[in-house]
Amino acid sequence: MTAGLRSALPPALVLLGLALLMEAAKAAGLLPITVPAPTQVLAVIPAQFADLVYHGAATLRSALLGYLCAGLVAGALASVALRFHGAERPIISFGLLVDCFPLIALAPIFVIWLGQGMLLHVTLSAIASFFPLLLGTVKGFRATDASTRQLFHVMAATPMQRLRLLSVPAALPYIFQAMKIAAPLALLGALIAEWIGAERGLGAMMIYALFSFNVPVVWLTILTVCGLSALAYGLIALVESRVITWEVRGDAGGTDG
Amino acid sequence: MSDITLSDVGMMFDIGHRKITALRGIDAVLPSGSFTALIGPSGCGKSTLLRLIADVLAPTSGEIRIGDHAPDAARKRHEIGFVFQDPTLLPWRSVVENIRLPVEVAGQPAARQPEELVELVGLKGFEQARPAQLSGGMQQRVAIARALALSPKVLLMDEPFGALDEITRQKMNIELLNIWRETGTTAVLVTHSISEAVFMADRVLVLSANPGQVADRIDIDLPRPRALDLMQDPAFHAHENAVRAALFSGERTAA
Amino acid sequence: MPGGPMAEATSDAPAPPRRPFAMARSGRLTGLVKLLLAVAVIVALWQAIIFWWQVPAFIAPTPGAVAGAFVSHFQEIVSSIAYTLRSVLLGMGLALILALILAGLFTLSPLLSRALLPLVIILRTAPILAIAPILILIFGRGLTTSIAVVVMVSFFPIMVNAAKGLGSTPPNALELMRVAGATWGQTFHKVRLPYALPYVFTGIRLASAGAVLSAMLAEWLSGAPGIGTFILEASSYRDQPRMWAGVVTSVISAVAFFALTTQAERRLAG
């Protein structure tokens, strides 16, 4: 924990320094009207707080539901891919294809099919966060090496024992990594859905502020989204650090491989 | 009793559209409680042979018996201990938990207490350490202790010390001999080191490649218990030379 | 039970001879055939679903209607997608240059790297696209905004991988250059960069998955005349075939762009 704090110190200082620099630059009149001083953003928080909570709750709900749906679908597809050898490549290719679809292009079609309500937000959020979860799960359950599998064979382990004692613990680091990558994407999916048209949600609040040229509120909503995403990432990382207490060999680094 | 009997064992692999004969006509009897070394050039199928005995692979011809059982029955009765070239420890388990793994899987009472095995392989004080905190040699000791957890009738080792430096390796060899003598298990060691084979074994099976066949069988009638100074004995060198000669004649017939 | 996938583990089993070139050529050919087949199947399925369930045209137009809209709006579609792809290419190029410069500076100054690299890695996982509205505020409603959004989104994956790549140089190679008396520039050019290149291309590939989306999103919010705006306009006129023509065009472009960078990466990684 203290080691984590120590490594977090330099970037935190950089962020703080950047904020101070912006404040000074703003005071010196060096920044355009579209870039507010950090204190200007802070100043609007009290007036906007109720709105932030109201809209933030909607975004968070859509993102959370989408994330869960993505997790369920990814888990189901991953088990098919792992159970049937020939299915792995088509399923991964399908996931990759979905991942590089421009979400915004599909959005108007989904609007027609699902309407503009929460279903749309949840769906786009699920699509946005789906692929890392799929890839992480499949990679994780494939992460055991040949001699460890032979060891379990020689020990005459049952399939259930294999799963419990070998496959699941071996997959966990990969799954956590995927969960960390997918969480901000789920939020982004919900946000994009709200940009397309919603009455409630941080995306809606952002667009409204953008079109009424309320600069500090635009910045505030964006910072809120980034904060929520960092919070989600941090929470998952915290659980991960409690669960994965051993040294993970190589990098279970999900999509950066 | 748990003699290992190999009768006319052959192994073919289908690779693409080609059939490759890895082993052909292997005949041998490894008596109960003996120590056998398998040595040969790379590609001679010595690791494959070990995996046939362990029922990791099934022979395409011939028969293998472990005592009164076929290998798969022996495996399911948890009578086989296997040590890989890599320690293959589970990184999320501590030393003692790794050693206890076969006991958990078998669901039968431990033949030897894991704590006792930790002491036997000289790792007292490291019971709760995770594999990543241990050196390569220490990890391999854990792997050996794990293989002994159910007091297996046969102990199969696939170049277990291949990745270790010479000094560690010789220390481990002596410790392994002590453990083997104490447990009375039938040991089979795959190695590519002539001196290791001669130092450890009662008999050395020399395999030749393409296809893998028994080129020669050399009995090592050096006295036990064996210590490091045995390696300076002329008799030791004579045995080494015999193994070397068998290896090279195998090379020639293969070429 | 024994056998099967476990055969791979027997380290001393002889390996079969390989013919990589023949394999590669037939692989590419069947790949193309597979692709055409997949497209044909999708179109047929699309038509069949509409025919079978009598899907009304406002829910999904027929492939024929979409093709018709594609032909009648051909020029507009081409100029829109060209606009979008231009912002993608310019944005990714700029992001690449910036990322390489910064990653190069990191190799010069460990302090800089310690202070900034964690930040870059954190931002790599942040929903960067969310800041698009700020960029619209700052850069207005033109090509600059689209480019800026693409730069912001592409920069972090490329940067993280470039830094990883520049850090992956074997110490022996660096020592060799030092013994040979090479300058920092020579070492960078002859040793660090070649080792880093595969990583850089991985970064480009990862960035390319979201680049078209980012450009379209910028257009969507700013109204710049790209394919994103084309789709938005068609959808506001409730002109389904035209909208679908735009969607299909953008999806194919995005997938093709991603496939291209994947190929480039694979070619380089060998």
Q: What is the pLDDT of residue B252?
A: 53
B78, B91, B102 ranked by CB distance to A249: nearest = B91
Query: How close is the nearest chain A Cα to the Cα of C186, in Å?
Result: 29
CA pair distance B183, A247, nearest whole angstrom: 33
Instruction: Say if CB B198 and CB B236 are below 8 A apart.
Output: yes
User: In this structure, how many other beta carbons lie within 10 angstroms of the beta carbon of residue C17?
Assistant: 8
Spell out which residues of chain C touch residue B16, defining contact as CB-CB under 8 Å.
16
The reported pLDDT for the residue numbered A108 is 87
Higher pLDDT, A152 or C269: A152
CATH numbers and ranges of domains, chain A: 48-246 (1.10.3720.10)
- The domain spans of chain B are 4-79+154-254, 89-151
- Selected residue of A145, A149, A150, A151 to mutate for chain B interface (largest B Cβ count, 10 A): A151
Question: Touching check for B22 and chain C: CB below 8 Å?
Answer: yes
**pLDDT at B156 exceeding the cut of 70:** yes
Give the best residue of C1, C6, C12 to mutate against chain B (max B CB count within 10 A).
C12
Distances (CA, A) of A128 to A190, A197, A242, C141, C220: 9, 18, 27, 26, 18
Q: Provide the residue type at C13 as one letter.
A: A
What pLDDT band is residue A254 in, cutting at 50, 70 and 90?
A: very low
Output the tens digit of pLDDT for each of chain C's 270 residues: 333 333 333 333 333 333 333 344 445 567 778 778 888 888 888 888 888 888 887 788 888 889 999 999 999 999 999 999 999 999 999 999 999 999 988 888 888 887 788 888 878 778 888 888 888 888 888 889 999 999 999 999 999 999 888 888 888 988 898 898 888 888 888 888 888 998 999 999 989 988 999 999 999 888 889 999 999 899 888 888 999 999 999 999 999 999 899 888 888 765
Considering all CA atoms of chain A, what is the largest pairwise distance in Å, rounded to the nearest integer? 74
For B190-210, what is the mean pLDDT? 93
Q: Quick one: pLDDT at residue B244?
A: 94
Whether residue C2 and residue A102 make contact (CB cut-off 8 A), yes or no, is: no
For B92-142, what is each residue's pLDDT tens digit?
A: 999 999 999 999 999 888 778 888 889 888 888 999 999 999 998 899 999
Nearest Cα of chain B lies from the Cα of A161 at a distance, in angstroms, of 7
- pLDDT of res. B201: 94
ipTM (interface pTM): 0.90
pLDDT tens digit sequence for B177-193: 988 998 889 999 999 99
Average pLDDT of the residues of chain A: 89
Contacts of A157 in chain B (CB under 8 A): 105
State the chains in contact with B (3 or more Cβ–Cβ pairs under 8 Å). Answer: A, C
Q: With an 8 Å Cβ cutoff, are C16 and B210 in contact?
A: no
Using a pLDDT cut of 90, give the percent of chain B over it. 63
Output the CATH code of domain B4-79+154-254: 3.40.50.300
Cβ contact B55–A166 (<8 Å): no
Specify the pLDDT at position A251: 54
Contact of B177 with B104, CB cutoff 8 Å: no
CA dist., res. A247 & res. B130, Å (int): 8
pLDDT digit string, tens, across residues A170-228 = 999 999 999 999 999 999 999 999 988 788 999 999 989 988 989 999 999 999 999 99
CA distances from A84 to B30, B113, C228 (A): 40, 40, 39
Would the pLDDT of A230 be above 60? Answer: yes
Q: What distance in Å separates the CA atoms of residue C226 and residue A197, rounded to the nearest whole number? A: 20
pLDDT band for position B37 (cuts 50, 70, 90): very high
Top-ranked range on mean pLDDT: pick from A126-135, B121-130, B226-235: A126-135
CA atoms within 13 A on the CB side of B108: 13
Strand-pair partners of B80? B154
Phi, psi of B214 (to 5 degrees): -75, 115
pLDDT band at A250 (very low <50, low <70, confident <90, very high): low
- Could you tell me the strand order of the sheet in which B186-191 lies? B80-83, B154-158, B186-191, B35-39, B203-208, B213-219
Q: Would an 8 Å CB–CB cutoff place B106 in contact with chain A? A: yes
Report the amino acid identity of residue A214.
N
Contacting residues of C for A109, CB less than 8 Å apart: 60, 243-244, 247
Q: By three-state DSSP, how is residue B214 classified?
A: strand
* C255: nearest CB among A15, A97, A188: A97
A155 touches chain B (CB under 8 A): yes
SS3 state at B217: strand
- Would you state the pLDDT for residue C15? 36
pTM over 0.95: no
The sign of the torsion formed by the CA atoms of C13, C17, C20, C22 equals negative
Cβ contacts of B42 on chain C, cutoff 8 Å? 12
